[in-house]
Amino acid sequence: MTQTLTLTVNRQAHELAVAPDTPLLNVLRNDLALNGPKYGCGLGECGACSVLVDGMMARACVLPVSAVVGHEILTLEGLVIEGRLDPVQRAFIEAQAAQCGYCLNGMIISIRALLNHTPRPSMAQLRAALEYNLCRCGTHMEILEAAELAVTINAGESLEAPHE
Amino acid sequence: MSDRQPTAAGAELPKALASPERFGVVVRPPHYAWDGEHFASDHLVAIERDSVAGLPGRIEVVVEGDFVAVVADSLTAAQDAARNLRLEWRTASGKGHDGSPAMVAETARELANEASSRALPPHRHDYGWPSRLRWGDIPGWVVADCSDHCLTLWVQTLTPEALSQDLMALTGLPAERITLYGASPARASGLGRHCGDDAAMDAALMSRHLGYPVAVWLDAAYDRDRRALGQAQRITLNANVAKSGEITDYHYHQEHASGNIAAVGLWLCGKAPGRRIMTDDRALFSPYAFRKAHHAERRDAQGADPHSEGLAEIQQAFARESFLDEVARDTGQDPLALRLRHLDDARGTELISSVSRRARWGEPPSPTITPPDRLHGRGFAYAQLPDRHQRIPEGVRSAWIADVEVNRVTGEVALTRLVVGQDAGPEVDTSRLQQTLQARVLGSARPLLGHTPAFDEWGDGSESSGSHGGALMETTTPPETGAGSTSLPMPLHEADLSPGVAVIANALFDATGVRFRQPPFTASRVRRALQDPGNPLQGADNGGPARRSGRRWLKVAALTAVASTAAMAWPWKGAIAPIQRPAANLYSAETIERGRLVAAAGDCAACHTAEGGRENAGGRAFETPFGTLYSTNLTPDEGTGIGRWSYAAFERAMRHGIGRDGRHLYPAFPYTAFAKISDADMQALYAYLMAQPAVSAEAPANALSFPFNMRPLLAGWNALYHDPRPFEPSPTQSDLYNRGAYLAEGLGHCSACHTPRNAMGAERRGEHALAGAMVDGWEAPPLNQLSRSPIPWSEAALYDYLRHGGSSLHGVASGPMAPVVAGLGELPEYDVRALAHYVAVQMGAPAGDSDAISAEASALLAAARSGPSDMEEGERLFEGACAACHLDTGTPSFSSAKTSLALNTNLYSEHPDNVIQSILSGTHAEHVPGVGNMPSFADSFSDSQVATLTAYLRARFAPDQAPWQDIASRVATIRQYNNNTPSPHP
Ligand code: FES
Ligand code: FES
């Protein structure tokens, strides 16, 4: 049963004719061509599909699209403002923390969500935040380095211009 | 009339009243009552203060005489304390009576003797006036601050003078030291007091003892005071009527000066001033001249206050004008002609004639087609009022004709037309008067036809009921200044309203054939009177409504026949003749709207809508131990739905489980619960269903195994297990409880899932009621004392769960409960509160979550931080599949579970079913906003993995519970069941 729903994705409103129980991930990738979020497990286990909903981490594969009507959705693409990458994205490029890169969307979104809430996390907090983001390539050490770097860049930027 | 205005409306509200910090709840004696002459109550013998000593927060107990109250830091804390407080009461001793009823009887006998030689028997009727018209207008705070020899209150009152007098009696303070804020505009109705005064007295008593401001919550709970205070005034009228129709002998006997009964708190603390009543034969004024007339009045020896005098005038006019109307109708005379015949007053006669011409009295109403749920009637009343200097002959004559429209289903009365003639003074603005009466007498703040909560009333009466604007609404919280009443019609002089009550009573009689001999004419009273053939309110003594006899009544009876009930008289089998499908607009919009709420509460669509099918078109499959059943088409399609069902057929199906064609329906259809539905709701439901679009859809044939496919056997089943009696509210329970019970036991059919069934598929009774059961492969947990949640439920948590789909301390609605919560979303606030209250009482749950509960919850969370060390496989499955959403990673998450598994009721159950079912099917609550989904793991886990995970979850999150046995076989069974049942979420 399709319905017309309005979703706010990356600061833009979209009217979509979808079944209300379609997973948000499918709508983002198939209807809005936003391929930053990845399909990993479809069961909320791996984190590859993560997006931000109202600034909080959310696993898009288990969220029915009807549950996010009226909320602000940001995908990896939406972290870029006027061509300028988010500090977390820059940290991952700088640290070259990738093998295949499939998990990076989830890693970056999770760190962004943590920093929104805890601007100066400890290493233990970073590890806890990434604990349930799976990486099949074993890139964990590099990813943690990038995470630490992200904290530093982010803190420096918020001194100049507070992020959001 | 006194012009003293104790209300300081417009003045700045003192801070103490605007933000009280202490909250009080009264504990009334088990029995207390005003019997018309005396107040009697149980006496307090002992009080166990220790019984509330252990409760959290500062709790104070206020005792004065038989008045008991507890005061605490919050309303819920005070309610809990009140519930826990142990008191010992001594039953009230017998109450003394003086001879007044005997005297009335004597007059009647005298008249009867005199009459024996005449043609017609004497007429005699009693008219009553209640001590409290209703509990209040809307739920709200009442705050009292008694300090520094001053008393200030934030109150809801219609009778500020009477309240001030009571407060003066309590405190001994002079009038100028008592200030009332927020009172309704002066003499808002002049029709008597409501329980806002009792709440104000309670708050004042508490504040006086404690020396600081105390807030009391005024709501339908105060209806108990209204019932206890009963009748304040009784007027008995006797008359002999000659063959010619002339009234030859007229006796008027009035019991009291007026109905100004002091506040309950004042009686209980023993400070109510004694009333010295004396009988007086002074000639009370009557505008009519009879050959022989006798007036007797019992009145206050001290003399009454002006406010009471005004009320007395209204009461007198009500009794006299109702009585003349009854005499006229009983003797076959035109009510207006009878008045004229006895009116020896040219001015009055002229006035009545002109009003009658203007209103076209006696002409049949224009033949318009009206919905079958509407009744129309017209009434007349007349009064002559003293002028400014209390001179009657110079006074103003006033003649009224009113038209009313009664909704037979909801009992609501609308004043549709009012013609008022007044022969002196300023011209009457009839449209404004009608508007005023509509707002005051019929609107949402209806003082006269006001709201008394009934178990089958929708909403709590505090919301404006749509078409009738609620002009007298006040805000629930103390606002910055006094009540905003500036936009109201000008307050009317009380006496102006004196024919207003009788004129409505007379019009109501004309419309319905029911005589209401005591106001208020509440929707619930009107409805009950209309629907109950053996009217229990009948009879003169309680001033309740009585039915008229004779030809006119037969006509009404014939009209009602379609809708009336004869619950026990249905032929057990036999078809009920099909009817032409009723037009969709046959019933009025209000009735259909009520029906929509009934359908939402009963959640018809949940069962009668197939996956992906049209609403209520049927065809959904139900697996039962006896075979597969399919729900039927409830749309008004003539071929496949209920389009040709008459109301009688519909009602028989709902209450007795017998289809229109006479075949028994299977009790998967919970007619065992629906039998409890009130008549009004049943009719409204029929009206609603018949107004929906028709869908042609044939339900698949049932596939039942022998002998369960033999429908006639169900007659025996019904005889054994079905109780078709409608719901009876319990007089000892609160209205909130009764409303909750009505919804839960009837429409809500909670027991259909939560009560275990016997081998014949019948719900078990007694202690097994709501003791938990299995349904659709899920466990419906116990809702009684057997509830096994990790931390006890509170009424507040139950409310959150039912209204918002989840409680932070217990988890979310899932499985078959998710659509139920979605359906409850349609219901008014009050109804969901009532349901929560009812379930809380079944569980023995407290009102709110105390600090102790929060501490308990934290302890459970801490204990579950790590799992058992010897369940590696389970731990791995949990970490891989569940932890991402079910453990706190320190990052705020939108998609994670909001409640820790350590607080999840399912993990504490005796049965692993709901845990297994959640893993296999996931949880889905798309329709409940804010409640998330859990995916199904049926395809990722083998049976043995599910079993391992389930055992691990129990060990980690319910560490003090015994491990579940036989998990593996339950997993296999449930998976099998799910595979065979088309899942709504593939
Ligand atoms: S794809 Fe959503 S968590 Fe794996
Ligand atoms: S880099 Fe390949 S999955 Fe993480």
Q: Which of A76, A109, A141 is the last residue of a domain?
A: A76
Of A20, A46, A128, the CB nearest to B890: A128
Asked if A21 lies within 8 A of B924 by C-beta distance, the reply is: yes
Judged by its nearest atom, the ligand closest to the C-alpha of residue A138 is: 2
pLDDT at B569: 32
Is A81 inside a domain boundary?
no
pLDDT at B156: 81
| Continuous segment of H or E residues that includes residue B200 | helix B196-210
pLDDT at B563: 33
Residues of B in CB contact (< 8 Å) with A are: 612, 880-881, 883-885, 887, 889-895, 924, 926, 929-930, 932-935, 937, 940, 985
Domain check: are A72 and A91 in the same one?
Answer: no
When mean pLDDT is compared over B295-299, B328-332, B497-501, B776-780, the highest value belongs to B328-332
Domain check: are A68 and A10 in the same one?
Answer: yes
Instruction: Name which of B506, B500, B511 is nearest B419 in CA terms.
Output: B500
When the pLDDT of each residue in chain A is averaged and rounded to a whole number, the result is 90
pLDDT surpasses 70 at B721 = no
| CB of A143 shorter than 6 A to ligand 2 | no
Exposure of B73 by Cβ count < 10 A (0-12 exposed, 13-18 middle, 19+ buried)? middle
| Continuous segment of H or E residues that includes residue A3 | strand A3-9
When the pLDDT of each residue in chain B is averaged and rounded to a whole number, the result is 74
Q: What is the largest CA-CA distance in chain B?
A: 104
How far apart are alpha carbons B957 and B230 in whole angstroms? 55
How far apart are alpha carbons B860 and B957 in whole angstroms? 8
DSSP B700: P
Domain check: are A9 and A72 in the same one?
Answer: yes
Say how many CB pairs under 8 Å bridge A and B. Answer: 86
Structure tokens at B571: 């032929």
How far apart are alpha carbons B192 and B175 in whole angstroms? 21
Residue A134 CA, closest ligand 1 atom number: 4
A69-109 pLDDT, tens per residue? Answer: 889 999 999 999 989 999 999 999 999 998 999 999 999 99
Is A111 inside a domain boundary?
yes
Q: What are phi and psi of B178, to 5 degrees?
A: -115, 125
Structure tokens at B202: 């309670």
What chain A residue is nearest to B880 in terms of C-alpha separation? A45
User: With bands split at pLDDT 50, 70 and 90, how would you rate the model's confidence at B461?
Assistant: very low
| CB of A97 shorter than 6 A to ligand 2 | no
How far apart are alpha carbons B613 and B653 in whole angstroms? 23
B472-502 pLDDT, tens per residue? Answer: 222 233 333 333 332 333 334 444 677 888 8
Q: How far is A62 from chain B (nearest CA, A)?
A: 6
CATH code (residue A124): 1.10.150.120
Give the C-alpha distances (Å, rounded to integers) separating B499 from B181, B191, B405: 31, 12, 19
Domain check: are A16 and A51 in the same one?
Answer: yes
Q: How far is A69 from chain B (nearest CA, A)?
A: 10
pLDDT surpasses 90 at B19 = no
Q: How many CA atoms lie within 13 A of B710 on its CB side?
A: 7
pLDDT at B190: 65
Exposure b/e, A40-52, CB count within 10 A at least 16 = b: bbbbbbbbbbbbb
Asked if A62 lies within 8 A of B935 by C-beta distance, the reply is: yes
How far apart are alpha carbons B533 and B542 in whole angstroms? 18
CA A130–ligand 1 middle distance (angstroms): 14
Is A162 inside a domain boundary?
no
Instruction: For a ligand 2 pocket test, name from A41, A92, A111, A137 the mutation site with the most ligand atoms within 8 angstroms of its C-beta.
Output: A137
Q: How many CA atoms lie within 13 A of B228 on its CB side?
A: 24
- For B1-6, what is the mean pLDDT? 35
How far apart are alpha carbons B6 and B538 in whole angstroms? 41
Residue with tokens 């959150």: B800
Domain check: are A57 and A107 in the same one?
Answer: no
Neighbours of B438 (CB within 10 A): 20
pLDDT at B189: 54
Q: What are phi and psi of B67, to 5 degrees?
A: -90, 125
Instruction: Name which of B960, B963, B962, B964 is nearest B859 in CA terms.
Output: B960
Domain check: are A49 and A8 in the same one?
Answer: yes
Identity of the amino acid at B787: S
How far apart are alpha carbons A41 and A144 in whole angstroms? 22
Instruction: Name which of B182, B177, B178, B215 is nearest B199 in CA terms.
Output: B215
User: With bands split at pLDDT 50, 70 and 90, how would you rate the model's confidence at B443?
Assistant: very low
pLDDT surpasses 50 at B5 = no
| CB of A40 shorter than 6 A to ligand 1 | yes
Could you list the residue range(s) of the whole structural domain that residue A49 is in? 3-76
CA A37–ligand 2 middle distance (angstroms): 13
> Taking a C-beta distance cutoff of 8 angstroms, is the pair B680, B759 a contact?
no
Complete domains list, chain B, with CATH: 15-30+43-90+136-218 (3.30.365.10), 561-721 (no CATH), 735-980 (no CATH)
Is A163 inside a domain boundary?
no
pLDDT at B950: 94
Nearest CA to ligand 2 atom 3: A135
What chain B residue is nearest to A59 in terms of C-alpha separation? B895
The dihedral over CA atoms of B492, B493, B494, B499, expressed in degrees to the nearest 10, equals -80
- For B937-951, what is the mean pLDDT? 91
Identity of the amino acid at B49: R
| CB of A98 shorter than 6 A to ligand 2 | yes
| CB of A42 shorter than 6 A to ligand 1 | yes
Return all residues near B201 (Cβ < 8 A) that are at least 6 apart.
Answer: B163, B166, B167, B170, B263, B264, B265, B266
Exposure b/e, B203-212, CB count within 10 A at least 16 = b: bbbbbbbbee
Residue with tokens 């129980």: A21
How far apart are alpha carbons B582 and B644 in whole angstroms? 8
- Strands lying side by side in the sheet with B621-624: B621-624, B627-630, B703-704
Among B88-97, B365-374, B556-565, the range scoring the smallest mean pLDDT is B556-565
User: With bands split at pLDDT 50, 70 and 90, how would you rate the model's confidence at B870?
Assistant: confident
How far apart are alpha carbons A128 and B30 in whole angstroms? 59
Nearest CA to ligand 1 atom 1: A40
Domain check: are A120 and A141 in the same one?
Answer: yes
User: With bands split at pLDDT 50, 70 and 90, how would you rate the model's confidence at B537?
Assistant: very low
DSSP β-ladder status, B396-407 and B413-422: antiparallel
pLDDT surpasses 60 at B345 = yes
pLDDT at A37: 96
Direct distance between the N- and C-terminal alpha carbons of chain A, in angstroms, rounded to an integer: 38
When mean pLDDT is compared over B335-344, B370-379, B516-525, B536-545, the highest value belongs to B335-344
Domain check: are A92 and A49 in the same one?
Answer: no
Of A43, A54, A118, the CB nearest to B935: A43
Structure tokens at B198: 């009792």
Q: Which of A52, A76, A100 is the last residue of a domain?
A: A76
B892-929 pLDDT, tens per residue? Answer: 888 888 788 888 888 888 889 889 988 998 887 655 65
Among B103-112, B285-294, B322-331, B585-594, the range scoring the smallest mean pLDDT is B103-112
Residue with tokens 């008014």: B828
Of B881, B883, B926, the CB nearest to A20: B926
B742-760 pLDDT, tens per residue? Answer: 888 877 778 777 877 655 5
Is A161 inside a domain boundary?
no
Q: Rg (Cα) of chain A, in Å, rounded? A: 16
CA B927–ligand 1 middle distance (angstroms): 23
Give the C-alpha distances (Å, rounded to integers) separating B541 from B34, B144, B328: 15, 38, 21
pLDDT at B552: 39
User: With bands split at pLDDT 50, 70 and 90, how would you rate the model's confidence at B981?
Assistant: low
A25-75 pLDDT, tens per residue? Answer: 999 999 999 999 999 998 889 999 999 999 999 999 988 888 888 899 999
At B742 the three-state DSSP class reads helix
| CB of A46 shorter than 6 A to ligand 2 | no
Domain check: are A25 and A64 in the same one?
Answer: yes
| CB of A139 shorter than 6 A to ligand 2 | yes
| Continuous segment of H or E residues that includes residue A151 | helix A140-160
CA A124–ligand 2 middle distance (angstroms): 21
Distance of CA B391 to the CA centre of its chain: 45
pLDDT at B276: 61
Percent residues over pLDDT 90 in chain B: 11
Region for residue B721 given its phi and psi (left: phi exceeds 0; alpha: psi -120 to 50; beta: otherwise): alpha
How far apart are alpha carbons B840 and B79 in whole angstroms? 13
pLDDT surpasses 80 at B217 = yes
B810-854 pLDDT, tens per residue? Answer: 877 777 787 788 778 778 788 888 889 988 888 888 877 777 778
| CB of A101 shorter than 6 A to ligand 2 | yes
> Taking a C-beta distance cutoff of 8 angstroms, is the pair B517, B128 a contact?
yes
Distance of CA B851 to the CA centre of its chain: 33
Is A142 inside a domain boundary?
yes
pLDDT surpasses 90 at B888 = no
Residue A60 CA, closest ligand 1 atom number: 2
pLDDT at A77: 95
CATH code (residue A58): 3.10.20.30
Percent residues over pLDDT 70 in chain B: 71
Structure tokens at B541: 């003594």
pLDDT surpasses 60 at B716 = no
| Continuous segment of H or E residues that includes residue A105 | helix A104-117
Residue A136 CA, closest ligand 2 atom number: 3
pLDDT: which is higher, B517 or B459: B517
Nearest CA to ligand 2 atom 2: A100
- Tell which of A57, A103, A116 to mutate to test the B interface (max B CBs under 10 Å): A57
pLDDT surpasses 60 at B263 = yes
User: With bands split at pLDDT 50, 70 and 90, how would you rate the model's confidence at B380?
Assistant: very high
pLDDT at A12: 93
How far apart are alpha carbons B485 and B703 in whole angstroms? 65
Asked if A45 lies within 8 A of B880 by C-beta distance, the reply is: yes
pTM: 0.59
> Taking a C-beta distance cutoff of 8 angstroms, is the pair B906, B935 a contact?
no
User: With bands split at pLDDT 50, 70 and 90, how would you rate the model's confidence at A153?
Assistant: very high
| CB of A89 shorter than 6 A to ligand 2 | no
How far apart are alpha carbons B80 and B343 in whole angstroms? 61
What chain A residue is nearest to B931 in terms of C-alpha separation? A67
Q: Which of A12, A46, A76 is the last residue of a domain?
A: A76
CA A103–ligand 1 middle distance (angstroms): 10
DSSP B701: P
Instruction: Give the dihedral sign, CA B732/B139/B182/B465.
Output: negative
Structure tokens at B857: 């919850």
Structure tokens at B672: 């065992």
Judged by its nearest atom, the ligand closest to the C-alpha of residue A134 is: 2
CA A61–ligand 1 middle distance (angstroms): 6
| CB of A56 shorter than 6 A to ligand 2 | no
Is A115 inside a domain boundary?
yes
Direct distance between the N- and C-terminal alpha carbons of chain B, in angstroms, rounded to an integer: 75
pLDDT surpasses 60 at B459 = no
How far apart are alpha carbons B853 and B432 in whole angstroms? 55
Q: How far is B937 from chain A (nearest CA, A)?
A: 8
Q: Using a CB-CB distance cutoff of 8 angstroms, which residues of chain A are in contact with residue B940?
A: 43
Instruction: For a ligand 2 pocket test, name from A50, A104, A105 the mutation site with the most ligand atoms within 8 angstroms of its C-beta.
Output: A104
> Taking a C-beta distance cutoff of 8 angstroms, is the pair A53, A8 a contact?
no
Residue A106 CA, closest ligand 1 atom number: 3
Domain check: are A72 and A121 in the same one?
Answer: no
Q: Using a CB-CB distance cutoff of 8 angstroms, which residues of chain A are in contact with residue B985?
A: 21
Q: What are phi and psi of B599, to 5 degrees?
A: -65, -35
The interface predicted TM-score of the complex, written ipTM, equals: 0.87
How far apart are alpha carbons B748 and B736 in whole angstroms? 15
Is A152 inside a domain boundary?
yes
Instruction: For a ligand 1 pocket test, name from A35, A43, A76, A132 the mutation site with the most ligand atoms within 8 angstroms of its C-beta.
Output: A43
User: With bands split at pLDDT 50, 70 and 90, how would you rate the model's confidence at B561?
Assistant: very low
| CB of A136 shorter than 6 A to ligand 2 | yes
Asked if B933 lies within 8 A of A113 by C-beta distance, the reply is: no
Identity of the amino acid at B317: A
Domain check: are A65 and A94 in the same one?
Answer: no
Among B263-277, B536-550, B799-813, the range scoring the smallest mean pLDDT is B536-550
- Could you write out the three-class secondary structure of B305-359? CHHHHHHHHHHHHHHHHHHHHHHHHHCCCCHHHHHHHCCCCHHHHHHHHHHHHHH
Domain check: are A63 and A104 in the same one?
Answer: no
Specify the number of domains making up chain A: 2
Asked if B885 lies within 8 A of A59 by C-beta distance, the reply is: yes
Identity of the amino acid at B868: P
